[in-house]
Amino acid sequence: MSDFGLEKINEYIYRIPRGYRADMIVPGFIYADEALAQRAAQEGVLEQVVNVATLPGIIRGSFAMPDIHLGYGFAVGGVAAFDVKNGIVSPGGVGFDINCGVRLLKTNLVAAEISASMRQKLMHELSRNISYGIGGHGKVRLSQLQLEEVLYRGVPWAVSHGYGLDDDIEYCEQNGRLDTAEPNKVSERAFQRGANQLGTLGSGNHFLEVQELTQILDNNAASIFGLFEGQLLVMIHSGSRGFGHQVCTDYLKVMAGATAKYGLSPIDRQLAYAPLGTDEASDYLKAMACAMNYAWVNRHMMAHFTRESFEFIFKKSAEALGMDLLYDVAHNSAKLETHQLDGETKKAVVHRKGATRAFAPNHPEIPQAYQGTGQPVFVPGDMGRASYILSGTKEAMKQTFGSTCHGAGRVLSRSRAKKQISGNELKQDLLARGIIVITSHVPSLAEEAPEAYKDVNEVVEICDGAKISKKVAKLRPLGVLKG
């Protein structure tokens, strides 16, 4: 393959050599099979991988997960780590939906034992309790002082106010809180947008799915995770809503100013950045941490309302229904982490944009219960096919700063999908396949059609083959709540 000078390392990894372009500091690494690598080259997304490889202080490589597609500045599915001494932070490397992520609730229910009419009632109750769609106001209304407390304390705030369980904190990435959050670094407009959106799903690719576990792929990890074939599970995918979007919007302007102030010249204005250690970088990281905490609380609140919905339908307590939190993972973040590089301990700010942390067994930052398996990883697919549970690996720590894919990845833009697919026909087709879909806007459902996404089975196979995460279980959708 000649485009971008791609070199095949093995069946699952391609490299863009550092010499492909004179301004590259590190090579690019593309996790893909030949077909996906060719698609990425044709779509122009590899140009974004190369551009990221030019940023100051980047370490080891500019990484692209197999679900990669065009994004703002960084590609979605991009990973890059920057040295704390001479590196940078870029909002384009995190994205507008800061801490978009996934939370997975278990149950002890057997999917096959729940009738179609009962599933209809359950989906209706979930739609009553959880706001979904563009805008969307949640049940919780907060004053600015209360919201400041949410931004600072994260999930522990929610638990202390009667939402969720104490154990939920342990089974959330970072325990549901970045302690670097400083609400005074957030604009008044962000506060306004975030005041009434806690516990809301939003629109776009966000969803709540009731799923059935159809296949165990790693018996040991599945047993430790508390999984069994036929199990009913609930996957919640959402982020920081308008609050996080506003934080990103505000700090893109700040970074544009920093570019001029420090005489910087990023190759793409969407990669505007500030050197670590400057006021601009520090302020962004503090505001971003607020949005991270907001998103964790947002998913936490939806999980609480999900438990209440199940209790109402099945007339049992959430505890009796076994509705424990398996884990909660973030997709869009820039976090200070410690990694081993060539036998040395190094601190770096790791940007993951549309990528999941996949820390290995025995890592101190994952729950004690998962020390033998590695961190749980969730990879949503699409409404019509499958999703996966994976686990983190030692190879991920060596290769990708403990990172793996976050989903299937788009192949059709939203506008193209709406032109090619009918939302009404899609909804009926899914219902005929036993998948109940509740949405706020049926025509927009086409944007999230299975045809708009890569095949998640192929994406996960690459991550598993490259050993940056390990397959544990396969799930299929039964009911979907979609914005």
Domains and CATH numbers, the chain: 101-411+453-482 (3.90.1860.10)
- DSSP state letter for 75: P
Angstrom distance (rounded) from CA 15 to CA 22? 16
Active-site pick, 206, 237, 331, 406:
406
CA distance linking residue 10 with residue 250, whole number of Å? 42
- Least confident stretch, 149-158, 329-338, 446-455: 446-455
Q: Which residue has the higher pLDDT, 434 or 233?
A: 233
Q: Within a 13 Å sphere around the CA of 157, how many CA atoms are in the beta-carbon half? A: 24
* pLDDT, tens digit (0-9, with 9 covering 90-100), for 315-346: 999 999 999 999 999 999 999 999 999 889 99
CA 334 to CA 81: how far, in whole Å?
9
For residue range 155-175, list pLDDT tens digits in order. Answer: 999 999 999 999 999 999 999
Confidence of residue 138 (pLDDT cuts 50, 70, 90): confident
Q: State the Cα–Cα distance between residues 2 and 384, nearest whole angstrom.
A: 35
Percent of the chain's residues with pLDDT above 70: 99
pLDDT band at 136; cut points 50, 70, 90:
low
Percent of the chain scoring above 90 in pLDDT:
84
End-to-end CA, the chain: 40
Alpha-carbon gap, residue 142 to 65, rounded angstroms: 38
Angle formed at CA 451 by CA 445 and CA 456, multiple of 5 degrees: 110
406: annotated active-site residue:
yes
CA-closest candidate to residue 95, choices 256, 334, 358: 334
